[in-house]
Amino acid sequence: MNKIIECVPNFSEGRNKEIINEISDSISNTKGVHLLNVDPGKATNRTVMTFVGDPDSVIKAAFNAIKIASEKIDMTRHKGEHPRFGATDVCPLIPVSNISLKELVPYAEKLAKRVSEKLNIPIYLYEYAAKEEKRKNLANVRSGEYEGLKEKISKKEWKPDFGNSFNKKSGATAIGVRDFLIAYNINLNTKSTRLANAIAFDIREKGRIKRKGHPVIGDIVYDKNGNPETIPGSLEHVKAIGWYIEEFGIAQISMNLTNITKTPIHTV
C-alpha cells in the first residue's frame, strides 16, 4: 500500500506573484507530488502552499521550494502581520495514509539535515519531531521572530537542531511533523487590533501575560525566576492572534485548531 503524506510550507512572501509562482512551480514540477493549493496573503505577506505525495517525493519537492525561497526572499526587508523568522518560515509534514506520525519523523530529520547542509539555513525541529519539550510548540521556537534570531541562535538553550550559524538573508526554518490542523479566522466589526488580541488571548491555550491592575497596560507579574507569569486561556489546543487586515479594513482573530477531536470548531 502506498504511503502518502502532506506538506504545508509557509513562505514569507505574499505580494510578489512572480516569486510565489517560482516557488509553486518548483513543487508542481517535482515528480511524484501534486500541488493542491496556493494561498497568498497581502497583509500577512505570507503564502501557504499545500501538496501531497509519497514521502521521498514530498521531501524532494519541499527542498526544491525552500531552495527557491532562499534565493528569492530577503528577510532583512520583510514586513508582515504574521509572526515569522525565515524565508521558509515553517515546513510541517503530515501523515495522510499508511504512515504514522512516528514513522514520519526520520523524513523531517532528513529534510532538515539537507536544508542545513546544502543551503546553510539553521533548522529547528518542532511538534512530534522536537527533541525536547519546549521545542514542540511552534510559538516557542519562533519567539523573538527574525529580528531576535541572531541573538537567539547564540544562546545554548536555543541552538538549532541542524546548523548553528545565522543566515542573514534566509533566517531560520522550523521543520516538523504534526497532525492535521484547522486554520479558522473570524472577522470582527472593528478596526481595533487591541480588541482582537484581547479576545485571542482569552481563548487561546497559551493565554495572556499576567498583569497588576489593568489586564492590558498594567505592570507585568514575574515569577521567582524572573519569567512573566501567564493566565491560561479557555480553550485547549487552540493558538490565536489578533491583527488588522488592510485589504478587508477590519481586525481579525486568526486561529489554529491543533486537535479538533478535543476542541472542535463548533466549540471555538
Residue type, 142: R
- Kind of pairing between the strands at 208-209 and 182-187: unpaired
Q: Pick from 186, 235, 188, 229: which is nearest to 208 by CA?
A: 229
Which residue among 82, 214, 237, 266 is the active-site one? Answer: 82
Residue type, 205: E
- Kind of pairing between the strands at 173-177 and 88-97: parallel
Alpha carbon separation from 217 to 21, 52, 125, 191, 213 (Å, rounded): 43, 45, 34, 19, 8
Nearest-angstrom CA–CA distance, 158 and 168: 17
Q: Contact, 132 vs 126, CB < 8 A?
A: no
In the chain, DSSP assigns E strands to 4-7, 10-11, 33-41, 46-53, 88-97, 123-127, 173-177, 182-187, 208-209, 230-231, 238-245, 250-257
Instruction: Please say if 78 is a catalytic residue.
Output: no
Q: What is the DSSP letter of 221?
A: P
Catalytic (active-site) positions: 82
